[in-house]
Structure 1
Amino acid sequence: MQTRTLRSDLMLLITAAIWGTAFVAQRVGMDYVGPFTFTAARFFLGALSLLPLLWILKPAAIQPTTGKARLNIWQGGLIAGSFLFAGATLQQVGLQYTTAGNAGFITGLYIILVPIMALLWGQKTGRNTWIGGVLAVVGLYLLSITDDFTLAYGDLLQLIGALFWAGHVLIIGWLSPQMDALRLSIVQFFTCGLVSLGVALFIENPTFANIGMAWQPIAYAGLLSVGVAYTLQVFAQKTAPASHAAIILSLEAVFAVIGGYFLLGERLDSQGVVGCGLMLAGMLISQISTNKSPKKEPQVEMLH
């Protein structure tokens, strides 16, 4: 059991590292293509990379856990894909106006936003969520508030995007028990890619030449961030509790800062470092359970 836990933790840590450094790839990719073109390419590629899993994974491992589904796979994929498009688009556009490190930490606020937004569905949340939320808000203030006391534009887009990422997690949590989770992911990725491509054709000028020049960051964000990291997360969370997994996955924000520092030359001043520290502390505290009685934990899932 200990070896299995260690293996799961290692897979989750690799997932966090891939997701964190993917922010660097997303910034570099926009040197060649627009944000909507990049999003379309990475999610099409990510969806295609998951298709082989339909044959590799055992059918029993990906079947729905409840009875009759309220929605079919296409309806569920359209809804989830719409939330995914909103979150991914705001994240990608925002990266034009902020650093990879800032984007990683602000996006990571979905961990706190999920239980808070779940209150709308009548779900209760613990005291630690509110403590973590307060710390995260203070950290966000130190990291992103400008001299004229406004939230930096790029960081504002990331914050709005975090709301959609949190909504996406809740939607996935509602849909996953009703239908095949793997097929749902593939459909939502294709949906996000199609909508992104439609917007790109109207407001950008995508060409195969430009996409070819951006093939490396697209491959990283599509194959690794979506395909490989998603697969690692699925296998790791077969044995890792959701709250435990969320703590490790929240380290993607740290990897985003590390990647931005070494690969893009991004720097944080002392106030920014304190802000990031408070935000990370808030994310971790929000995941500490104070309930001693065992209960089933909600699934935590985020796809970048």
Structure 2
Amino acid sequence: MIDSRHRRARLGLVSVTALWGVTFSLNQVALHSMGAATLTFLRFLVASLFLLLGFGLRRSFWQGVNRAELLGGLLTGSLLFGGYLTQTEGQRFLSASLAGFLTGLSVVLVPLILLVLHRGLTRRQFGATLIAAVGLYLLARPQGHEGLLGIALLLACALFFALQLVAVEYYRITTAAVIRFTLFQMATVTALAALVAMAPGGGGLLPLHASQEAWATVAINGVGASALGFMAQTWSLRWLNSIEISVIYSLEPVFAALVALIALHQREGLAVWIGGIIVVVAMVLVSITPPGGATYPQESST
């Protein structure tokens, strides 16, 4: 039975997904004046500080923290780091709309990962995977060698994001408090991105000549898309399961394509749009739960 809590969770995730779609175009602008690792570091530094200053200064915030919750934050944060670094780097070679479609393949991968962990692959899910492969071919065909590198990076990004969602579902159901768990994730990404940014060729931690648009992107990404976005993801797992969330995430490439068209005037060829539509269809098809098969996580304490 779907009640008001499920509806609020879905509405919140749709809002977050729309914001994530916007960030593809924002990131493309920001990458003109700062490196991928630097952008990743700064956005998650802002997210970590937002959560720490907003919630973490109270002693009660840290009561009940346990080893499993900390390790879960480190694991899921590491997966997030891999996802955002490969996504941001891949956007150097691809349009915002195409990057959105490829990132959205995490929707296909979430149920496949769960199937590997729990049960066999159904014919519908196998067929949807083949459909997605056709869509990918149409997306990749006109891109050239640099585009192929970008596609490889975005496919890795999709895998990282799928693994992160599955892992967050596990820890959210067991031990994790929403805000504290999100802070652990944000801090982990910040630390890992700082190491990469400080390495030779990493771009450094503070881009002195970054544009105003780039700094605005850092702020929007940090507070909205990262801190609040992943709080919403963790909170929504009280009422929704990871496959249901992945269906909602299938809207992300649609938002990314629309914003890229309106804001950046990026017009893809017909084959790319057809490929993107095929991928979205595959996303939804592979994520549909058979009648009577939907299950919802139980609420856990925070």
Q: TM class, shorter-chain normalised?
A: 0.7 to 0.9
Query: Does the CA contact (< 8 Å) of 2:179 and 2:231 recur in 1?
Result: no
> Sequence identity, in percent?
26
Partners of 2:166 and 2:217 in 1: how far apart?
29
Stretches of 4+ aligned residues off by more than 6 angstroms? 147-151
Query: Does the CA contact (< 8 Å) of 2:28 and 2:92 recur in 1?
Result: yes
- Give 2:45's aligned residue: 44
Query: Does the CA contact (< 8 Å) of 1:126 and 1:290 recur in 2?
Result: no
Deviation at 1:117, TM superposition (A): 2.5
- Give 1:86's aligned residue: 82
> What one-letter code is carried by the residue in structure 1 that aligns with 2:228?
V
Alignment of 1:119-158 (within 5 A): 119-146=115-142, 152-158=148-154
Deviation at 1:149, TM superposition (A): 9.4
Task: Give deviations 1:171-190, integer Å, cap 9, x for gaps.
Answer: 22333323334322211211
Query: Does the CA contact (< 8 Å) of 2:22 and 2:256 recur in 1?
Result: yes
Indicate whether 1:27 and 2:18 are aligned: no
Partners of 1:128 and 1:206 in 2: how far apart?
46
Q: Indicate the larger mover: 139-148 or 101-110.
A: 139-148
In structure 2, relative to structure 1, the CA distance for the partners of 1:248 and 1:178 (3 Å cut) is same
Partners of 2:86 and 2:107 in 1: how far apart?
17
Query: Does the CA contact (< 8 Å) of 2:90 and 2:151 recur in 1?
Result: yes
Alignment of 1:50-69 (within 5 A): 50-51=51-52, 52-53=54-55
Deviation at 1:279, TM superposition (A): 0.5
Q: Indicate the larger mover: 229-238 or 7-16.
A: 229-238
In structure 2, relative to structure 1, the CA distance for the partners of 1:11 and 1:72 (3 Å cut) is closer
Partners of 1:24 and 1:150 in 2: how far apart?
19
In structure 2, relative to structure 1, the CA distance for the partners of 1:33 and 1:182 (3 Å cut) is same
Unpaired stretches in structure 1, ≥5 consecutive residues: 300-304
RMSD: 3.1
Partners of 2:280 and 2:64 in 1: how far apart?
35
TM-score for the superposition, normalised by structure 1: 0.83
Partners of 1:147 and 1:241 in 2: how far apart?
35
Task: Give deviations 1:258-299, integer Å, cap 9, x for gaps.
Answer: 111111121111111110110010111112111425534699
Partners of 2:111 and 2:247 in 1: how far apart?
14
How many matched pairs? Answer: 291
Indicate whether 1:209 and 2:208 are aligned: yes
Unpaired stretches in structure 2, ≥5 consecutive residues: none
In structure 2, relative to structure 1, the CA distance for the partners of 1:243 and 1:297 (3 Å cut) is farther
In structure 2, relative to structure 1, the CA distance for the partners of 1:207 and 1:129 (3 Å cut) is same
Deviation at 1:124, TM superposition (A): 4.0
Partners of 1:236 and 1:122 in 2: how far apart?
22
In structure 2, relative to structure 1, the CA distance for the partners of 1:242 and 1:54 (3 Å cut) is farther
Partners of 1:21 and 1:72 in 2: how far apart?
34
Deviation at 1:121, TM superposition (A): 2.5
Partners of 1:94 and 1:294 in 2: how far apart?
35
Q: Indicate the larger mover: 239-248 or 90-99.
A: 239-248
In structure 2, relative to structure 1, the CA distance for the partners of 1:146 and 1:26 (3 Å cut) is same
TM-score for the superposition, normalised by structure 2: 0.83
Partners of 1:231 and 1:189 in 2: how far apart?
10
Q: Indicate the larger mover: 252-261 or 23-32.
A: 23-32
Q: Indicate the larger mover: 162-171 or 33-42.
A: 162-171
Partners of 2:298 and 2:154 in 1: how far apart?
24
- DSSP-derived class of the 1:90 partner: helix
In structure 2, relative to structure 1, the CA distance for the partners of 1:116 and 1:282 (3 Å cut) is same
Deviation at 1:114, TM superposition (A): 1.9
In structure 2, relative to structure 1, the CA distance for the partners of 1:19 and 1:150 (3 Å cut) is closer
- Give 1:275's aligned residue: 275
